[in-house]
Structure 1
Amino acid sequence: MRKTTALIAAIALLGPLTACAGGTGSSTAGCDRVMTSGTASSVVTASGKFGTAPKVNFPTPLYSKNSQVSTIIAGKSEPISAGQPVILDVTIINGANGTPLQKTSYNATGGSLITVGKSTFPAVSLGLECAQVGSRIAIVGSAKDSHNGAADAANGIGKDDSFVYVVDVKGAFLSRANGADQIPVNGMPAVVLTADGTPGISVPDRAAPKTSEVKVLKKGSGATVKSNQFIVVKYTAIGWGTKTVFDSTWTDHQATVLQVGSASLSTGVSKALIGQKVGSQVLAVLPPKASAVSDGTGKAPTDDAAVYVVDILGIAG
């Protein structure tokens, strides 16, 4: 599988976003932010409609030793929690001098994917906790949270510079499969989940199957996955014989976007996911031929069956 985890790695969506963030309450009461508001984030203003590139203003130089977040436009969904993948647009500016650094495309049917909570982008991923779909937030990220305190002379970034992020939260998805548990099947790998949903896979003491075997572990009730759709997932994959993980989104606390039926996804995984519903967790045991990726980007072993556990979190387009 090919993962998309970079903050500004825009994904091209083919249709309207399907948000799965919960109900429509407008209050964030009861949601405890990891990152709080402060004097730095409160002075950032951003004009322009939600979903369009904003005009951002703040006094320079703007520094903060601790990352801060303030709400510019309030959304109307349930608060977003750690582990939920979010589709967003973002404008990033150097707080020290006001220099624009990067921004997403602000395409009406696109955006970038990041998972809320622990990640390699703590300024944004932690700032999104308790935000709501439809909200625009201003984050002033510390040097540590923004660029790990590393200077970049070529781009005019000093080691102590804070970054200003103006983020439009366009959609949110499930943090893990939430479907109804299904009856286990004898002879198939057993799956045990940690508190956050990370799967552990136990392979039975038998020869690997020579044909694909698919079992729904949790049956969701959301939209049905169709060929060529972009879907948001978390997954773990191990070798049947080696019993070791060769690919996982859970290890870096990220979700990813897959295009079902594309050349970057094996035929076996695509077939296992087509027809399943959002909220489902799918177990697929695939022989090497079925787990191979035609564009050569796959990580599955060529001489061993592959075992996949995939949580279907939403349809991105």
Structure 2
Amino acid sequence: MRKTTALIAALALLASLTACASGPGSNGCDPLVSSGNASSAVTATGKFGTAPKVKFPTPLYTKSNEKTQVIAGKGAPIQDGQPVALDVTILNGTNGKVLQSSSYAADGFSLVTVGKSSIPSVTEALRCATVGSRVVIVGSPKDSHSGQADDANGIGKNDSFVYVVDVRNSFLAKADGANQIPQNDMPLVVTTADGTPGISIPSSTAPKSLKIDVLKQGSGTKVKTGNYLIVQYTGVPWSLTDKKPFDSTWSEHQASVIQVGAASVSTGLSKALVGQRVGSQVLVVAPPKDAAVADGSGKAPTDNTSVYVVDILGIAQ
């Protein structure tokens, strides 16, 4: 079984090759973070996709985030909003101790979304990186752990973090399929420039059976039961006056990994996603029995029809 972890979850425990730095505007992308003395002082040797041997002079400190590329990747530069699968080793810049590390297994990875997040030291530094690259990031105390000491994990309030990131894959930032004619009597969906959906519920009575409407028809790989999907989604109740989402990846600025057909995914969502293609945006109206999650982890209301908008951004390979 594939193991997937979010870098944010990993960090919850906490709350050489010649450097080849990319300059502003290189490869058609404008990076937010540049190389500096701290990131250039770090060596991270070893093959891409394997645990690196990391060395740097201690204590290593920076007031602002820095990044240096040590293995060059290929392909288009990664932009804000794109989810990225990666392996990462995190060290304390003050003493060089490893704080957290990926398994570097073929069937596991961490997932972050590039751009705005609660860990900008990583997600902002990865803008303009390419798949196959190894990037050394030295994060400021503020952007790595909010400048908060964590005695249990040996972290001082002024400690910088060193991240060695291997970028394994990248995915769509939002559904990019062709717009389709929406079905009658279904919720209306409009999206902002970054893909965040807004959902308007009709005044009619909620349907009693599962309803599925493809709003954008993608042209990518077809989804099968058991696939691990990279998705962005929003879920709102049908009939309550307050239509605030009960669950949304968009509000967290972080895409998610779900396994189609698993006990942690509602039967309605799994039925709706099987057979769809990467790049599609799917509207799902699910009565309580179809919105329920078998393992009890779902957030959908138990006494109300749920409305989901799901962007299928990729399939984890």
TM-score, normalising length: structure 1: 0.92
Larger deviation: 307-316 or 116-125?
A: 116-125
Share of identical aligned residues, percent?
63
Name 2:205's counterpart in structure 1: 207
Instruction: Tell me the CA shift for residue 109 of structure 1.
Output: 3.1
Deviations 1:143-178 (A, max 9, x none): 001111011122221111100000000000000000
- SS of 2:124's equivalent in the other structure is helix
Give the number of equivalent residue pairs.
299
Name 1:247's counterpart in structure 2: 247
- C-alpha separation in 1, matches of 2:207 and 2:152: 54
Name 1:127's counterpart in structure 2: 125
Kindly indicate whether the alpha-carbon contact (under 8 Å) linking 2:84 and 2:113 is maintained by their aligned counterparts in 1: yes
Instruction: Tell me the CA shift for residue 5 of structure 1.
Output: 4.1
Kindly indicate whether the alpha-carbon contact (under 8 Å) linking 1:94 and 1:101 is maintained by their aligned counterparts in 2: yes
- C-alpha separation in 2, matches of 1:143 and 1:95: 10
- C-alpha separation in 2, matches of 1:36 and 1:204: 49
- C-alpha separation in 1, matches of 2:211 and 2:156: 54
Name 2:8's counterpart in structure 1: 7
Which of 132, 150, 169 does residue 152 from structure 1 map onto? 150
Instruction: Tell me the CA shift for residue 100 of structure 1.
Output: 1.1
Match for 1:258: what amino acid?
I
The CA RMSD measured in Å over matched residues stands at 1.5
Q: Which runs of 4+ in 1 moved over 6 A?
A: none
- SS of 2:290's equivalent in the other structure is helix
Instruction: Tell me the CA shift for residue 48 of structure 1.
Output: 0.4
Deviations 1:23-44 (A, max 9, x none): xxxx942211111111111111
Instruction: Tell me the CA shift for residue 9 of structure 1.
Output: 4.8
Q: Answer yes or no: is 1:277 the counterpart of 2:277.
A: yes
Match for 1:187: what amino acid?
D
Match for 2:279: what amino acid?
G
Larger deviation: 28-37 or 264-273?
A: 28-37
Q: Answer yes or no: is 1:304 the counterpart of 2:291.
A: no
Kindly indicate whether the alpha-carbon contact (under 8 Å) linking 2:5 and 2:108 is maintained by their aligned counterparts in 1: no
- C-alpha separation in 2, matches of 1:56 and 1:295: 40
Q: Answer yes or no: is 1:81 the counterpart of 2:79.
A: yes
Higher RCO, 1 or 2 (CA under 8 Å, sep at least 6)? 1
Deviations 1:186-225 (A, max 9, x none): 2110000011110000011100000011000000000000
Instruction: Tell me the CA shift for residue 65 of structure 1.
Output: 0.1
- C-alpha separation in 2, matches of 1:220 and 1:38: 41
Structure 2 residue runs of 5 or longer lacking an equivalent are 12-24
- C-alpha separation in 2, matches of 1:289 and 1:9: 33
Kindly indicate whether the alpha-carbon contact (under 8 Å) linking 1:279 and 1:312 is maintained by their aligned counterparts in 2: yes
- SS of 2:79's equivalent in the other structure is coil
Structure 1 residue runs of 5 or longer lacking an equivalent are 11-26
- SS of 1:311's equivalent in the other structure is strand
Name 1:16's counterpart in structure 2: none
